[in-house]
Amino acid sequence: MAPSSVVVTIENPRSISLVEVNDLNSPSAFRDKNKAANPKRFTKVLLLKAQRTLGCIPWLANNLFTTFASVKKRIALSDERDEEPKYRGKLYRFIRVFLAISVAALFIEIFAYFNQWHLNLVNPWEVQSLLQWTYMAWISFRADYIAPTLATLTSFCIVLFLIQSVDRLVLCLGCFWMKLRKIKPIINEDASDPEGGSYFPMVLVQIPMCNEKEVFAQSIGAVCQLDWPKDRMLVQVLDDSDDEVLQQMIRNECLSWKEKGVNIIYRHRFIRTGYKAGNLKSAMACDYVQDYEFVAIFDADFQPNPDFLKLTVPHFKGKPDVGLVQARWTFVNQDENLLTRLQNINLCFHFEVEQQVNGHYLNFFGFNGTAGVWRIKALEESGGWLERTTVEDMDIAVRAHLYGWKFIYVNDVRALCELPESYEAYKKQQHRWHSGPMQLFRLCLPSILKSKISVWKKANMIFLFFLLRKLILPFYSFTLFCIILPLTMFIPEAELPPWVICYVPIVMSILNILPSPKSFPFLMPYLLFENTMSVTKFNAMVSGLFQLGSSYEWVVTKKSGRSSESDLLAFAERESKNMNEEKISRRLSESGLELYGKIKEHEEVPKKKKANKIYRKELALAFLLLTAAARSLLSAQGIHFYYLLFQGLTFLIVGLDLIGEQVS
């Protein structure tokens, strides 16, 4: 046998037991066989792919059928009372009137198109029909009077759009420069420690909450496991819940950690005014607070890592002018559905770019309300927590900046939290986030103008922080893309250029997605959804600017109580029913059986079922944009048609509440 031979033994006795191949270096023995096999193999691959494609058709058909059935049921069960009046109001009536006029104009344009009425090129004395003369008069009137006014408004919005785009580009360039030069906040290791040892100042940790049944246990557990000397940390659980059973459950949770050696206090207000600001203000009024130098704040759905304080508090060391250290948020449910994915894009840009750039170059940014550590002296000198707006976090940040305090943002320190999973919760959150800044702007403008900070800082706060990013952005987004664009389809003399509709928005969306590169497949959904949310943000901005009633309402964002895998493992034992029953029987002054019966009775009370809603304002805008898309077909406007079509469909999906959590 040759040295290069290969022996293959086959254990089947009926088969050949020995196979010799004397020349392995020459593939000629298999070439003919491969040539014959390749076409067959290629055919099998094609057939397999075709089979998989055909197998998707029943799945797709079933999903479409299920979606249409749920939409039909949703529409049948919808009631105008389901959607709160503050989310409709005068803007909704305006959109309905605009829609009715647009539908009527579309029918007239279609009639004129098929009758080939190109009357703008015809001598008025040659028109014989009264209907034709009326149509020609309308064309002349819109060209002479309406089009110039609309063109002026369009130019104004385009200028605002370009200014905001430049601002976004500058922020991205600043972030890129920080990444390139590896610029990060530095802890002052050389600063002297008066105690001569490790830097462990007295820290107060506050957890404000209100009816947070789903998340209170994991939040309290995460805070109580912070790696900080127990004798130099106090945890305040600030419970504003109006449910007595829930209050007792939270009190029990605090007692369980107190037994483990954690310095923790449960506080409940009898007079619950001022929402979160009132809760924090009441807690800071306690006598023992004067013994603490810093206060860390975490909302009820936040779960900081054990090393959170060790990574944030040292940034105050040797820097007496630093009033706030803000950490970044990360999300346990960012991949839950399309809505959470789109929110993640926005918030990644906010933290990675806006907060980081403003923190480094300006030492000022808006406090995010949670996952931050304040110097208590900065809070006190700035006037403490005020109840005058629904954005108490931004309020205290602005006042502290006016008093000369500096802020530090640490992008590497992160706290886990939740994103709203339903469109209803997200919409209410965005309404508060965009109405509050306008309330604050009205109240703070005199103080900003009278403050002793530099002219540059005043200009930055007024024109960039408030006007450009809080007022101009929702104004031009809604006005330009939801009102002016469909209007120009019926008044073609004031047509929007394609680069405004398509090219620049896509570039800006790409810049927004850069901090979360895994979200690039969602570029177009993100662009369309942001324009869809402009109606909510515009409505909120107007209500806050003009002190409408809805701007002062605080709605707690609904939580689902999701935890990361590590959290589930850490809290599984404490959250089990057996442990809860043991806590009840051991700790309460009243009998354990009595409270246990209350909890069981509370669980058996029929609750209002969650259900998806119909949002009429979004639906009205959907039909308005689809009507304008149909009109653009008559003018053969390609980009305008596709934009209006897909934007209208996006409004339709959002209006039918098909984007977030779906309740079966």
pLDDT in tens, 523-547: 999 999 999 999 999 999 999 998 8
* pLDDT value of position 589: 41
* pLDDT value of position 509: 94
**Which residue, 441, 544, 418, 531, is CA-closest to 483?**
531
| Cα(533)–Cα(545) distance, integer angstroms | 18
Burial class from Cβ neighbours inside 10 Å (0-12, 13-18, 19+) for residue 11 reads: exposed
| Cα(590)–Cα(638) distance, integer angstroms | 73
E runs forming strands in 210-291: 233-239, 264-268
| Contact yes or no for 141/472 (Cβ under 8 A) | no
**Which residue, 443, 427, 428, 464, is CA-closest to 389?**
443
Bridge partners of 264, per DSSP, are 235
* pLDDT value of position 402: 96
* pLDDT value of position 53: 73
Cα end-to-end span (Å), the chain: 72
Answer yes or no: pTM beyond 0.85. Answer: no
**Which residue, 657, 660, 658, 421, is CA-closest to 562?**
421
240 has catalytic annotation: yes
**Catalytic residue (one of 239, 299, 393, 395):** 393
pLDDT less than 50: residues of the chain = 1-6, 8, 10, 13-22, 24, 26, 29-30, 81, 192-197, 564-593, 596
DSSP H helices in 420-576: 423-450, 455-459, 473-478, 485-490, 498, 504-513, 523-545, 565-571
Bridge partners of 265, per DSSP, are 236
Longest CA pairwise span in the chain (Å): 108
**Catalytic residue (one of 239, 240, 395, 657):** 240
Q: Is the dihedral of CA 533, 539, 542, 543 positive or negative?
A: negative
In the three-class reduction of DSSP (H, G, I as helix; E, B as strand; rest coil), residue 119 is classed as helix
* pLDDT value of position 613: 86
* pLDDT value of position 272: 84
DSSP H helices in 350-422: 356-361, 376-381, 392-402
* pLDDT value of position 599: 52
Q: Number of helices (H) and strands (E), helices first, in the chain? A: 24, 8
**Which residue, 505, 537, 525, is CA-closest to 646?**
525
* pLDDT value of position 313: 96
| Cα(307)–Cα(413) distance, integer angstroms | 9
Question: How many CB atoms are located within 10 Å of the residue 578 CB?
Answer: 8
* pLDDT value of position 30: 45
- Per this entry, what is the length of the chain? 664
* pLDDT value of position 270: 87
| Contact yes or no for 226/304 (Cβ under 8 A) | yes
Joined together, the tokens standing for residue 290 give 């004067």
